[in-house]
Structure 1
């Protein structure tokens, strides 16, 4: 397919997403099934166009003065890809399979319009109803923070130190373009271009042998800040597919007792194979009893004995927008209310599991204060036997980059917040709570 034909395909896909309100990933998969003539390079390029439009949906429509699939794509080419008006016009020449030629109004908008004077939710590309929440945490910098959250994410890997050192894995993966992560002492990073094909990590020998796992650097650091130690009893209360469970196991060096569970048993399905591949032998997976979501208590035999309870809390995922830009436009206020109730419930559930002197690590991949600072304040008010351990204090004992890392994060009385703009990671909030 020609570059112009790819633009036409992207416009068609965006129109489908708009008309049928379907997730972008599903629309792209369906399009690929119906257009088998398109090669992998074409599909990757078209997907890149669609995701970039979703990243810059509001700002692209703003500069074009029109909120249509075509207008958003043209605006994205100007804002995100940096194409000149003439370059865009050359692609939209009306030839076979190409988009129709630019109108005078479109050419004028591409040439003369900018984001000067645009509201924060437009220049930052996020739903307007979230503006008060982002203003609470970022203030006047919310548009800059949100714009960074709309940027293209790299592919981050965590080296499994149960099997290999980072330097060894780095040398074995140079063909992928891996580089050490800035903060995580066990992370590797691969930069991803706009039209890049799937890196195919799951076919790499290092992955097959369990030397690496896909995990954002921020997620790695959230687990790192929990300070899990060899010999401790650690419970991963919202283990899901096991990303942080695997990280905790490596921190524990395979020694101690690690329990992984989740209220939704369906989320646990991949964890068994992942633990086996990683060579984790000290982890017990506990599936809730019963047939439905949340039926039964898989931890009924545990009371005040855990050194650490990790809560990777269910949240809105606002911190991961750069990996799933479709999610922010599909998010509704009601979803936030559901998450807030679930977070309070899982925090309260952890209380009786922790022994005196033990700790709870509360983590979200959200930047919204109501899910982060607000939940911690409310928890401390409900449970006076807990107090906050400043994450910067925890970090200081862990690695030589702790001071610089703490300075880069957004610190508050309740914890620390990583963001793409500040730390180059996904958005993650971390609070450590100690039982007196």
Structure 2
């Protein structure tokens, strides 16, 4: 990867306070979501001893994320995006307060928990396209890749520390977790409400099928966007080895719960450290090849993990997998933002979120089905090889993307 430091932009967080303000807001929200996810899962299993009910939590989050994504994108492009995020977070906060109050009153049951999680999932679906579309308005285009890397570092930190913190606080009781998370969400609401940046919403138009699917049409017409988003979709769909970690930990690596914890953390740690690097260094040349190379490396790391019977080699493969995925993610996210007009960013971001949610959920399902039929090792091996095949095909089918030299123009 060709990269260089960007001293001319200085410290991004210091010179662009609105971005720091936004980043801290998203950090608080990310920690809250990770913590409540752990607490809800543990409490429902404590109440019901049912693995099926754990699956229902995922289903309740998945359905609105897919069905409501396009309307959410339309709203992001019609209203002031900061206000959309604030309104959504207020309803999420109310649901968390409901969880805490009913918990302390000993009124929580499985149905109530699932109902509150459903409410949170609906409003997070409407929040996400607007939140993603705010970042390009906070920094100049030339340092957008660094901003996205820093933004990604917050998400990775939340995914590493949040579950552990939620599990530790669960010792006090789930109601205390919900109360603390509600306080963190309220902090996020207040910070977001005070965020100031230049943005003028367009003239509002009614939502019809043409506008609802205009993000899909736009992506089909833009070869760069189509290539980037479909590459991510199929690479994640095929390379979902992390869904099989409990099998590898127990039956192949012969480790316990502590080993499984390390295996789950390794990709996030790799991604977090790589995000720090990308926040300091900007990719300057051959970014198309760098992106394809990082996805191919993701496939190779998956193959190494599949064939490994040594815990430390497996941890190294997962660490590399996470780091390489972060490189690809920053390039993909930057291209999606820069190749999309501001008035379309909400709708295109909504389609992108459908791709992400579908690939993650179906990727886990695909890995489970293949593992059941051919074994976990073969499932991960097939996924890694499939990722390499996808990279080869996409390099042929999207030559413009392969030849892409820079993320942003030097004069942006």
TM-score relative to the length of structure 1: 0.25
Question: Which one scores higher on RCO, CA 8 angstroms, separation ≥ 6?
Answer: 2
Task: Name the structure with the higher helix share.
Answer: 2
Task: Name the structure with the higher strand share.
Answer: 1
